[in-house]
Structures are given as C-alpha cells and as structure tokens.
Chain A
Amino acid sequence: MNTAITVPEDLWEGDGEGVITAWLVDDGSEVAQGDLVAEVMVEKAQYEIEAPASGVLTIAKQEDEVIAKGTSIASLEA
C-alpha cells in the first residue's frame, strides 16, 4: 500500500508557499508511523512532518524546494 506524505492543508492562511528545509531521514529508508521525517518552513515557522504510516520512504520534493499547502512531498510503500 502506498501512502502519500502531504503538507497539511490547514497549516497557514492564504496562498503563500513554504519550503522544505530538511529531510530527517534518507530516501529509501524504512520509517515507522509517527517518525519525524521532514521539516518545512512557512511564514518563519518550522513545522515537523511525521510519517502518517510505516513503510519505505520515497522522497518527491528535495530540500529547498518550494511547496504549497497539500503538496505531496514523499510517499511510503508498506
């Protein structure tokens, strides 16, 4: 089963964009549900992104890439 890791839709108001500031695990790593996997920054706020499920991580958006709300930044293959 494939699960997307997305930037929460409710994180900020308006149509501003954020940026991925860090991946905390490597592409291809196995992660558990709830593990911290990435940090995004928007509006001068750092926000930690958790794995919504367990699985092998495939990164879709790299560090310093610009992202919008709801963007899928990676996927987890269980």
Chain B
Amino acid sequence: MTLQRPTVEEGLIAEEALLDMVCHGEISLGWLAWSPRDRGLVMPRRHERLARFPEARAQLASMGWPVLFRNTGGTPVPQSPAVVNLALVIRCRVGSSAAHLEWGYHRLGDPWCDWLGVLGVADADLGPAPGAYCDGRYNVRIGGRKLVGTAQRWRRVRGCGDMALLVHGAMQVDDTPEALVAVVNAFQAAIDDPQRFRAASHVALRDVLPDLALEAAMPRLLEGLVAGHALPKAAHGCG
C-alpha cells in the first residue's frame, strides 16, 4: 500500500476509475492513497457557471494554480505535493431509513481519527471548522482546526439496487495553512465573492507531528480503513 505520486488530473481520473470498478461489479472495496506531484485548484464543475469564472480560471493559472474539476461535492480546494489524498470506494446496500451520507463520512473519518490517536494526537475528531475553505460537518479536525477535508460521490451499481460510494479525504501535511488559504482566497476575489477564509481554521499535519515519517505511518491508516469494512449500521450491507 504505497503512496502514489500522479499529477492532480491523473489522481482524479484514478479515483473515478475506482468508482467505475465498483459500479461494474469488479470490486466491492478499493482504496487509493496519492499525493500530487504538481498542483491545482480543484472544484466541482458547477463553479464553471459563475459569471467571472473564465477570468478567475485565467488568473489562477497565471499564478501556477490551474483549475481542475472533481466529481465529489464541496467548493474549491488546493491540491499540491503538500496534500495527501485518500479515496475509499465501497459497494453498499442502503436501507430505507438510513442517512447514508453520515455513514460514509464516519466510514472514512473514524479510522482517520483513530490513526491520529495512535500517533499521539489526543484531540482529533470529526466536525466543522468555521472559517475553513470547503468546510463541512465531517472534517477531520485537530483541536477544532481542519486537517482533512472530506467529500463523497454516490452512484448506482449497474443492474441492481446497490450503491457505490466514493469517499475522499484531502489532508494538508506540509506547507503552511496560510499558503493554501491564500490560493482559495485569490479565487474568491477573482469571482467577486466577498467570503474569505482563515488560515487559523486549518492545521497542517507537520505542525502537529513534525518528526512523523508519513510514508511509514500510512499503511496503518489504510489498514484501519480496510478493517472498518465491518459495518456500523444494520441498514448498510456491502457486497
């Protein structure tokens, strides 16, 4: 289980290919750990409809942050060699009364928090980080600051009632939160959106664990995700 080093575009394509494999019945569980060797500002395609998007895209490209699109939800997120991504794909059977988005986030986030605990981080949890870019209710946080942003995509498995889930986490490992927040705020300014994000709402793993040998520690995180294949709710079954 090694950390792959594709381009941002290649990494996004590889994640989509994993989801396709679940949809086509080739696998019921898969994962991908990657950190891009280049950089880009990644967002859902609906941002393309913003009035000033063409100008914003050109401006970000001139800054060395080309805009790319992803198939999970949320808002713009910088991808660079400072970021480690983990994508988990699962085939699921969704019950009639289950809120399965929450299940998906816990499926990725709980083992992530456990892994941080093993590494000695006592205050890791899931929750919102007001002021963070691409904030949500299920970030992996350290001390209330966003370490990992999470997002999902759900698709029907062809030919049956099962669903395929792609749940993705992007963890800032290196670089400063200020550097990445500045990229997102540059996009905000370019599209004339007054909202600005705060570096104080983010944390980089290196700030908390400066001596961590990440590539040596990653397998334990991946093992935790796979071990979590036992399901927390009876309403969800995975084939």
Contact = CB atoms under 8 A, between A and B. Distances in A.
Interface of A: 10-13, 21-22, 34, 36, 41-48, 50, 63-64
A13 B106 CA distance: 13
Interface string B127-155: 00000001011100000000000111111
A43 B44 contact: no
B74 A44 contact: yes
13 contacts: A10-B94, A11-B99, A12-B101, A13-B99, A13-B101, A21-B73, A43-B101, A43-B136, A44-B134, A44-B150, A44-B152, A46-B73, A46-B152
A45 B96 contact: no
Nearest to A42: B101
A11 B100 contact: yes
B44 A45 contact: no
Contacts of A42: 73, 101
Interface in B99-118: 99-102, 104-105
Contacts of B136: 43-44
Contacts of B95: 10
Interface size class of B (residues with CB under 8 A): 20 to 34
Contact of B49 (A10, A12, A50, A64): A64
Interface of B is mostly: mixed
A7 to B, nearest CB: 12
A21 B50 CA distance: 13
Given A10-B99, A13-B102, A45 B49 contact: no
A43 B153 CA distance: 11
B59 interface: no
Interface string B49-64: 1000000000000000
B46 A21 contact: yes
Contact of A48 (B45, B97, B137, B154): B154
Contacts of B5: none
Contacts of B44: 21, 41, 46
Contact of A64 (B46, B100, B138): B46
B151 A44 contact: yes
Given A43-B102, A46-B154, 4 more contacts: A11-B101, A12-B101, A21-B73, A22-B46
B7 interface: no
Contact of B72 (A11, A13, A45, A64): A45
